[in-house]
Structure 1
Amino acid sequence: MLYGACYYPEHREAHRWEEDLQLMREAGINALRITEFAWKSMEPSEGIYDFEWLDEFIRLADNYAIQIVLCPPMRTVPAWLVEMDRTVLILTQEGHRLEYASRYTFCVNHPLLREKASRLASAMATQYGRLPSVIGWHLDNEIGDEPDCHCPVCLAKWRSWLKRKYEGIDALNTAWGTVFWGQTFDRFEQIATPRLTKADYNPAYIQAWRQFRSDCNVNAARLLAEAVRPHIQDTKQYVTTNNQMLWNNRTDYYEMAKLLDITGTNYYPPFGDRCRSIELGLAVNRSLKKAPFHVYELRNEGHAILGAEGNTPAPGELERLVLHTIANGADGVFFFPWKRFPFGSEQNHGAITDFDGQPTRIYDECQALGKRLHRISQSIEGSQVVSEIAVLYDFPSRWHIEHPSAWTGNPNVYVQHINKLYHSVRKLGYNCDAVGRHGDFTAYKLLLVPMLPIVDDGLVLKLQQYAESGGVIVFHPLIGIKNEEASYYNERLHPGIIQLLGSKPLEAATSGAQTRVQFSWRDRLYEGDMLHELVQAESAQVAGAFASQWYEGFPAVTVQPVGNGHSWFIATFAEERFYLDFLEERCRELRIPTLLGTMPPAHIETTMRQHADGTRYVFVLNGSSDTAAMKLDRQMYDVWNDEWLEGELLLKPYGVRVLIERT
């Protein structure tokens, strides 16, 4: 298990490297991620590579038993490259050329950037591809974290992409419905990139553009992977990179993961009561390859930002945060950064050591944590989070929902609703996975579909087969309404979805953010908001009905058998209270046990990782500043605190327990 940090030897005087390495070793740090911003230091002028300083640092790190993950950089280029051709800079939607002196202002499709970045990556891999102390290759950094580029290079590539996808212009016109507003094209050369214009773009236009930009980002990763891999064959060096869950939707990370050996992510949750607010990002990340992953940037010390909330960790919160990421599938954790930056844009960013490299309060916690983690890491490493419940996370649907338009409404609803479903499952005391449209649905007894507007015949058939084989699906509004070109199906829903729901769609009613619509289920009233699908139940059984507005009495909750399984439909975006009741009943029917035999108290996280031999580690984490307690239904051994527990389990503020059991 990697317990590491992000370090920048090019920022530090070489004669002080060993001071930092000594502190790292004493803290239990065994790996560093380096060089993602060091292009200029490695190639001070075109074609002249200088690895002497990097050779020396890697040698010194090896003396301290610290392994290296190298980052071939691509999108923080040296000034000399921009001087060669300023068109390498991004041309924005508004037609502005981004300026140098920031980061990620460069077009990933530009041939000059691609040529120079590929050559540097190849030179780095030639130098270090068989060095035992280099364990991995981290492709660039946060690929896709830049504005869309609309330069001539991207325009030409966009048109070529469209030609490959549609083959003929008539096929594109038909697929996009360009007859609307009289926008029919005669040639692909007439199609621009979606730059600033007067009104909304055709949704099909934007859906295709989002897929194109995602492909561009995946291809940037592919470029670097193909430059590195020939030099690391027959070695144990792995290829990875870091994504941005869940705040960046520019890249289909399921596609990017196909290029990687291990997936990675960044994780910057708030401290305090909202510490688990972006936890779903960890579940999505482990779903990319259905395997353990690495966190390549983990927050630690608070940032010196005026007025920032949830920003400063109380004593003990670092331990809880690190164990939280491991509990949710991480086999590697890297703090960002090791040392505070005395200069530059991120100089107020928290770190493990101060501006001069001296230990901080957080260093002391990092050190204590490192010692305890070393004791148990080999036992936990390689185990996986195992769940019988999953939420369906879908990039094409998210792109469509988040398209900014007066016709789409709240662009945050996708992430908000999938989070509500995920956190409801977790609050009940169950593990919960994420799964993509191409993932294995059959691994789960219960599949929660937050909204899935974009479906094709293949995906609908997969959902049908899952239910027929015994799976239980819970659908919501905006399920199966459009094809991959973002055009409505004639009956409002895909015919296969109508069959799955056992209901005929009539119309959709909407309500404002402050207007709650009541519905009944199990003789209790609940509230829903935003959008309410009005359907006519045909073969489906009505299990709940709307209880307010003019559509009072219309079905709000329906269910029907599908083969050996069931298909549920919740016709509104319900409040969390409903999901806690509804999902608890589904899990009881499906005989899915909670991890510790009970629903955990508020602010207590329970998560389970399991080895192939059946050994289970149940992490119990207190996200509160108060002491907490819960009941155990069996005797268990706490490997983190080295004690046997039975009956009542106590957790100090931000306390951690790692309980072991064998099946």
Structure 2
Amino acid sequence: MINAKKPKIWYGGDYNPDQWDSSIWDEDLRMFKLAGIDVVTLNVFAWAKNQPDENTYDFGWLDTMMDKLHEDGIGVCLATSTAAHPAWMARKYPDVLQVDFYGRKRKFGGRHNSCPNSPTYRKYAVRMAEKLAERYKDHPALLIWHINNEYGGAGNCYCDNCETAFREWAKARYGSLDEVNRAWNTGFWGHTFHSWEDIVLPSGLSEEWTGANGRTETNFQGISLDYMRFHSDSLLECYKLEYEAVKKHTPSIPVTTNLMGAFKKLDYHKWAKHMDVVSWDNYPRFDTPHSYTGMMHDLMRGLKHGQPFMLMEQTPSQQNWQPYNSLKRPGVMRLWSYQAAARGADTILFFQLRRSIGACEKYHGAVIEHVGHEHTRVFRECAALGQELGQLGDTLLDANVQAKVALLFDWENWWAVEMSSGPSIDLRYVDEVHKYYDALYRLGISVDVVGVDADFSRYDLVIAPVMYMVKAGIADKLEKYVHGGGSLITTFFSGIVDENDLVKTGGYPGELRKLLGIWAEEIDALLPSQRNRIVLSDQAPGLKSEYECGILCDLIHSEGAEVKAVYGNDFYRGMPVLTVNKFGAGQAWYVATSPEASFLQDWLSQLCSSIGIHPLINDMPVGVETTLRSKEGQSYLFVLNHNENPVNIKLGERAGVELLSGRTLDGEQEELAGRDVWIIKQKP
């Protein structure tokens, strides 16, 4: 339990008193009390203030604020401030400055503006982390360490230091140039390397370019894939150095860094192994599907195999970097906060507590608006939520989300899918994963979003959309899972390559061919204006006779799998599009195309029911979300109404005491107000 020193759902967020005159600090603290704020994140971007030159460190302001917060009963999430190096460092040590995709050396500016392989940056970042740990190791306000901030939020670096480090990384991964040449298929276009010094970074000066769709295109997927791994590892090494620096002095204080959901540049499965607790920043747009936000929460929870996570940032009202920065309507901030809690968050924290008056985040929402007092709609809503979280106390802390379905999400697979030279510009990995998640979300079926290293035996159903890359040992793991009685779904463009993006010869879907009982002979790419049809062989209850599909269509032959549906159009009309293969005690499904949403909802409803997976509430109204968290034999049902208007819900056997109102809800029809939430303590 990260909340052991303050046993409740932490409530608060980023506070930047270093940007303000000290004369307003006490007024801010007064309003924090009114809002029920009990945890504050400090020092996120204060490196330049704390270290005005190479040899001077001044933490006077931070000493004062740490003491003031503790006196007011507020704990501190203390950041190491290393997400933006000081100007003096860039002037004196230019190796800290990044080189961009086209070989141009950056000047000082922005944030995340440091080369991760700069010896200077690493030296001073670690020194800063250690000085903070030495100074505050015994401070009673210190609750958790926050290393850096939103790693990877700027461009990648292509400097000489990174190029040298990339060669060393490749040596460690492959051991020899012969193995590098094999893994990267350098015989293509005469790229064979005979010296380590021949290897250069893939960039706009070598193998890569920016395509018409904004994606990075590459001549050599193997090289570019390894650069993505290397870049993620380089930043992770920076994090680990700071982690070790603070742990040396505060071994019992947990350490985190804030992640960003489906952030493409960093392999969060690898990062999570080095984090005591996962934290992340949730910034949906006004029109982001609620299911997508739910999937991101579940992805963050899945990084540490179901361990509760921290919601490190969200806005109380509006954002400022999107094309259209709409206000959160009344009740939405509270509702979305409880959506995070419903899916495993044990903290509700904001960016930011007081609005800045200048620069690019001055119009980003805050608990304390520019008017500077508590008489605002946003403050009133924040204070009401703070009171409710205080009322809940430690009831939900460390409760686990219960799910029988696992949805696989793999960063390296994502990179490989979207670096592929074809077959379709419209194939987007996260979108395809979300299609399956959204269908289950609408059905009210809970999902764990996990990596390929997860324990599949915990689940009745495992779904692996677009499993293009099959890493070593994964095919065997899936075979064992299905043979033991599990159900597997995978889809088109799966089983194509290994972890080096080398095609597995012998027919698609490669190592999955025996498990799935099919052979995919060709892959057709449909234009956006083109659609095909899924025609069911036998119309099961709840399913229509046919549905639309698009993007890609695998032309498959059964090699023992039962054909459940065929294509309705084109020269491959009548060929299988949906198959199931009995394998041991289990079954392996293959969906050979990207179906319309209604097919996935109808089919998954029928399939889940057949294997004993059922919604938490039957006949749930559209726009209502449900999850279940449990601990110590007690379960808590969350019911969230994302609709503006009230809905009627029949709880049935899910009746119980609603914790926020204290009302007893029976199993009959109950009205849930628009944008409202129930947290129902279930009857034993």
Q: 1:393 to 1:271 in 2, by over 3 A?
A: same
Matched, 1:208 2:226: yes
Cα separation, 2, equivalents of 1:95 and 1:172: 24
Mapped contact 1:637–1:645 kept (Cα < 8 A): yes
Letter in 2 for 1:344: A
Instruction: State yes or no: 1:163 paired with 2:171.
Output: yes
Deviation for aligned residue 1:73: 2.3
Identity of aligned residues (%): 29
Whether 2:628 is the aligned partner of 1:608: answer yes
1:628 to 624, 627, 647: 647
Given the superposition, is the C-alpha separation of residues 275 and 300 from structure 1 closer, same or farther in structure 2, using an over 3 Å criterion?
farther
- Provide the residue aligned with 1:537 in structure 2: 558
Larger mean CA deviation between 381-390 and 168-177 belongs to 168-177
Give the Cα–Cα distance (whole angstroms) in 2 for the partners of residues 280 and 639 of structure 1: 25
Q: 1:593, CA displacement in angstroms?
A: 2.4
Q: Deviations over 1:370-397 (max 9, x none)?
A: 1111111411111011100111001110
Residue aligned with 1:457, SS? coil
Q: Does 1:457 align with 2:472?
A: yes
Deviation at 1:275? Answer: 4.1
User: Displacement of 1:81 after TM fit?
Assistant: 0.8
- Residue of structure 2 aligned with 1:329, choices 344, 347, 352: 344
Q: Is residue 47 of structure 2 the alignment partner of residue 39 of structure 1? A: yes
Matches within 5 A, 1:473-552: 473-493=488-508, 495-521=510-536, 522-523=538-539, 524-552=545-573
Cα pair 1:5 1:32 within 8 Å, conserved: yes
- The 3 A distance-change label for structure 1 pair 33 and 314 is same
Change (3 A) 1:60 1:655: same
1:308 corresponding residue in structure 2: 324
Equivalent of 1:180 in 185, 188, 191: 188
Q: 1:80 to 1:286 in 2, by over 3 A?
A: same
> Match for 1:469 among 481, 484, 487?
484
Does the Cα contact within 8 Å between 2:509 and 2:519 map onto a contact in 1? no
1:618 partner SS? strand
Q: Write the mapping of 1:392-471 to structure 2, written as runs, cut at 5 A.
A: 392-403=408-419, 407=422, 409-410=424-425, 413-471=428-486
Distance, in Å, in 1 between the alignment partners of 2:74 and 2:637 is 29
Shift of 1:496: 3.2
Q: Map Cα deviations across residues 146-193 of structure 1 (whole Å, 9 max, x no partner).
A: 211010100000011111112111211122211111111111211110
The answer to whether the Cα contact below 8 Å between 2:286 and 2:328 also exists between their aligned partners in 1 is yes
Mapped to 2, the partners of 1:96 and 1:662 lie a distance apart of 64
Tell me the SS of whatever aligns to 2:488.
Answer: strand
SS in 2 for 1:482: coil
Aligned partners of 2:320, 2:346: CA distance in 1, in Å?
30
Deviation digits for residues 585-613 of structure 1, max 9, x if unmatched? 121111122112x14211111111111x2
Q: C-alpha displacement at 1:229, in angstroms?
A: 0.5
Provide the C-alpha distance between the structure 1 equivalents of 2:427 and 2:24, rounded to a whole number of angstroms: 46
Q: Is the 8 A contact 2:472 2:499 kept in 1?
A: no
TM-score scaled by length of structure 2: 0.93
| 132 and 401 in structure 1: CA distance in 2 versus 1, 3 angstrom threshold | same
How far apart, CA to CA, are the structure 1 residues paired with 2:431 and 2:10? 32
Q: Provide, for residues 449-477 of structure 1, a one-character-per-residue CA deviation record: whole Å limited to 9, x for no partner.
A: 11111113311111111111111000101
Distance 2:173 2:507 in 1: 25
The aligned counterpart of 1:238 is: 254
* Alignment partner, residue 211 of structure 2: none
Change (3 A) 1:345 1:411: farther
What is the letter of the counterpart of residue 612 of structure 2? R
Instruction: Measure how far apart 1:504 and its partner are.
Output: 1.7
Instruction: Tell me, in whole angstroms, the C-alpha distance in 2 between the residues paired with 1:501 and 1:450.
Output: 14
Map 1:246-265; keep pairs closer than 5 Å: 246=262, 248-265=263-280
**Preserved CA contact (<8 Å) 1:139 1:240:** yes
**CA-CA distance at 1:306 after TM superposition:** 9.2
Residue 517 of structure 1 contacts residue 546 of structure 1 at CA under 8 Å; is this kept in 2? yes
- After TM superposition, give the deviation of residue 278 of structure 1 in Å: 2.9
Aligned length: 656
Aligned partners of 1:24, 1:276: CA distance in 2, in Å?
32
Correspondent of 2:73 among 49, 55, 65: 65
1:564 paired residue among 575, 578, 585 = 585
Residue 517 of structure 2 aligns to which amino acid in structure 1? G
Match of 1:192 among 182, 192, 200: 200
Quote the residue 1:555 is aligned against.
576
Paired residues of 2:90 and 2:107 also in contact (CA < 8 A): no
AA aligned opposite 2:641:
N
Measured against aligned partners, the alpha-carbon deviations of 1:551-581 in whole angstroms (never above 9, x if no partner) come to 0111111001111111000111111111111
Q: If the length of structure 1 is used for normalisation, what is the TM-score? A: 0.96
Match of 2:215 in 1: none
Comparing 429-438 with 92-101, greater Cα deviation is found at: 92-101
After TM superposition, the structure 1 = structure 2 runs for residues 149-160 of structure 1, keeping only pairs within 5 Å, are 149-160=157-168
The letter of the residue matching 2:450 is: V
Question: Which deviates further from its counterpart, 158-167 or 633-642?
Answer: 633-642
What amino acid is aligned across from residue 601 of structure 1 in structure 2? P
Which residue is 1:617 aligned to?
Answer: 636
Q: Does 1:102 align with 2:110?
A: yes
**C-alpha displacement at 1:271, in angstroms?**
3.4
User: What is the one-letter code of the residue matched to 1:574?
Assistant: P
Equivalent residues of 2:14, 2:353 under 8 A apart: yes
Q: Deviation digits for residues 330-353 of structure 1, max 9, x if unmatched? A: 001111101111111111111111
Aligned to 1:24: 32
Give the 3-state SS of the residue equivalent to 2:495 in structure 1.
strand
Match of 1:645 among 661, 665, 677: 665
For residues 528 and 397 of structure 2, the distance between their equivalents in structure 1, rounded to whole angstroms, comes to: 45
Query: 1:273, 1:194 → 2: CA distance?
Result: 34
1:194/1:201 contact within 8 Å kept? no
The alpha-carbon deviation at position 214 of structure 1 amounts to: 1.2
Report deviation, 1:15. Answer: 2.5
CA distance, structure 2, for counterparts of residue 198 and residue 219 of structure 1: 26
SS in 2 for 1:461: helix
* Aligned counterpart, 1:343: 358
Distance 2:129 2:568 in 1: 62
User: 2: CA distance between counterparts of 1:633 and 1:217?
Assistant: 50
**Which has the larger displacement, 148-157 or 451-460?**
451-460
Assess if the C-alpha contact under 8 Å between 1:273 and 1:603 holds in 2.
no
> Could you tell me whether the CA contact under 8 Å between 1:401 and 1:411 is conserved in 2?
no
Cα distance change of structure 1 residues 156 and 5 upon mapping to structure 2, 3 Å threshold:
same
Asked if 2 retains the 8 angstrom alpha-carbon contact of 1:42 and 1:50, the reply is yes
Measured in 2, the distance between the counterparts of 1:397 and 1:190 equals 27
In the other structure, the counterpart of 1:55 is 63
Q: Structure 2: which amino acid aligns with 1:326?
A: A
CA contact (8 A) 1:90 1:151 kept: yes
Amino acid at match of 1:77: H
Deviation digits for residues 466-494 of structure 1 (CA, Å, limit 9, x no counterpart): 11111100010121110111011112436
User: 1:391 maps to which residue?
Assistant: 407
2: distance between equivalents of 1:228 and 1:616? 37
Give the stretch that moved more between structures: 147-156 or 46-55.
46-55
CA deviation map 1:126-160 (0-9, x unaligned): 01122221000011000111211010100000011
| DSSP 3-state at the match of 1:184 | coil
Q: Tell me if structure 2 keeps the 8 A contact 1:527–1:575.
A: yes
After TM superposition, list the pairs within 5 Å mapping 1:91-130 onto structure 2: 91-130=99-138
Q: Structure 1 residues 11, 91: closer, same or farther in 2, change over 3 A? A: same
- Against the structure 1 CA distance between its residues 451 and 304, is the aligned structure 2 distance closer, same or farther, given a 3 Å change threshold? closer
Q: CA–CA distance in 2 between the matches of 1:255 and 1:547?
A: 43
- Structure 1 pair 35–431 and aligned structure 2 pair: CA distance change class (3 A): same
Q: Which of 339, 361, 373 matches 2:377?
A: 361
What is the deviation of 1:5? 1.2
For the residues of structure 1 that align with 2:471 and 2:458, how far apart are their CA atoms?
A: 22
CA RMSD of aligned residues (A): 1.6
Cα shift at 1:305: 7.3
1:91-147 deviations in Å (ceiling 9; x for gaps): 011111222121112111100000000000000000112222100001100011121
Return the offset for 1:259: 1.3
Secondary structure of 1:314's counterpart equals: coil
Distance 2:321 2:258 in 1: 25
CA contact (8 A) 1:74 1:113 kept: no
Counterpart residue identity of residue 210, structure 1: M
